[in-house]
Structure 1
Amino acid sequence: MADPSNYTYPSPLEGYEGLEPLPDEKETEGPNAKAFINPPSKTLSKAYNQFADPITNDTRGGFDIHIYYLQTNASELKFAAELHERIRREFPELRIYRLFEGPVGPHPIAMFEVNVFTPQQFGAFVAWLVINRGPLSVLVHPNTGDDVRDHSQRATWMGQPIPLQIGFLKEMLKRKEQEGQTNGS
């Protein structure tokens, strides 16, 4: 995980300055008891239909979801293969990569990757995965164009976090950038 002090953060209230104070009134009965009564909004948040900036809303996909398994553990390998098949059958609209049989990129153990493209897909798939991931660890990260931050400070884990090779990722990105400069890009 990255040190949060390495980054800056805009105020969560940016764009909401100067509004009337919110009421302190709370519901008193029913399933919402003790919850604040919020003033109604004229429109739903844009986040229901597109990922918040700077998350990409293009063909790369807004989020990558890496599902890890220990390649030397027969029961984890079997579970991962079965989960992979189930995801392909239940969520064919997602981009689903093959099972990698060992480390690849910054990922130190075997995994497979799923990309989601809309907030609706994210909500459906991540909620489903929380219940169905079994013994496997899962990294969920946005795609903002800052791969190091996306894989570290902006990452969310289900299960036991797997220490990623962030140094390797930095080197890989540096090489890519140098190749682009060499090729006239």
Structure 2
Amino acid sequence: MADPSLYTYPSPLKGYENLEPLPNEEADDGKSYVNPPAKKKSEAYHSFVEPITNGIRGGFDVHIYFLQTDEEETKFANELWERIRREFPELRIYKVWDRPVGPHPVAMFEVNLFNPEQFGAFIPWLVINRGPLSALIHPNTDDEERDHTQRATWMGQPLPLSLKMFKKRAASKGENS
């Protein structure tokens, strides 16, 4: 995992400065607060927030891993891949790799999500249906190493990624600047 101290973080309140204080009224459940109604729904319901891409690459990648030496996991992964293709045909679903590829340490397949609606439908579905498999969910921005580490979310057991390729790309970009 990337060291969070390597990055800067803008204030979450940017754009919400100098507003009236929020009420302290508790909701009926006695644990949450009553929030004032928003003037309009957050744009995050319609498109991914910057710097996540909303283009052809897809805003999020989901890598679903399995041990290629385990027959049961391999069979389950192939069945899951087929089910995803049938139930979510609008997503980009890559082929099943039966070996490590790129920074990924074991066999896997990848699914791309293009908008918040797809993310909101697919991720809860995957939580229930991924079985014994681990999944890495990461945004796509212009910082691949950070996307795969500090901004990543794991379902199941996290796996160590090989980050060398990202470091080499970043170094070559720096040399060519």
Shorter-chain TM-score tier: over 0.9
| TM-score normalised according to structure 2 size | 0.95
Query: Corresponding residue for 1:155?
Result: 152
C-alpha separation between the residues in 2 aligned to 1:140 and 1:75?
23
Query: Corresponding residue for 1:111?
Result: 108
- How far has the Cα of 1:34 moved from its partner? 2.5
Find 1:93's aligned residue among 90, 93, 100: 90
Query: Corresponding residue for 1:20?
Result: 20
Query: Corresponding residue for 1:41?
Result: 38
- How far has the Cα of 1:35 moved from its partner? 1.6
Find 2:162's aligned residue among 165, 171, 179: 165
Q: What amino acid is aligned across from residue 159 of structure 2 in structure 1?
A: I
Q: What amino acid is aligned across from residue 14 of structure 1 in structure 2?
A: K
| TM-score normalised according to structure 1 size | 0.91
- How far has the Cα of 1:169 moved from its partner? 3.0
SS of equivalent residue, structure 1 residue 140: strand
Deviations for 1:11-33, whole angstroms, at most 9, x for unmatched residues? 000010000000000123xxx44
SS of equivalent residue, structure 2 residue 54: coil
- How far has the Cα of 1:101 moved from its partner? 0.8
Deviations for 1:146-171, whole angstroms, at most 9, x for unmatched residues? 00000000000000001000123322
- 1:53 and 2:53 matched: no
Deviations for 1:88-140, whole angstroms, at most 9, x for unmatched residues? 00000000000001011000100000000000000100010000000000000
Find 1:69's aligned residue among 62, 66, 77: 66
Find 1:83's aligned residue among 75, 80, 83: 80
Q: What amino acid is aligned across from residue 6 of structure 2 in structure 1?
A: N
After superposition, the CA RMSD in angstroms is 1.8
Name segments (4+ residues, structure 1) moved above 3 Å.
Answer: 174-178
C-alpha separation between the residues in 2 aligned to 1:119 and 1:75?
33
CA contact (8 A) 1:105 1:169 kept: no
Aligned positions, number? 177
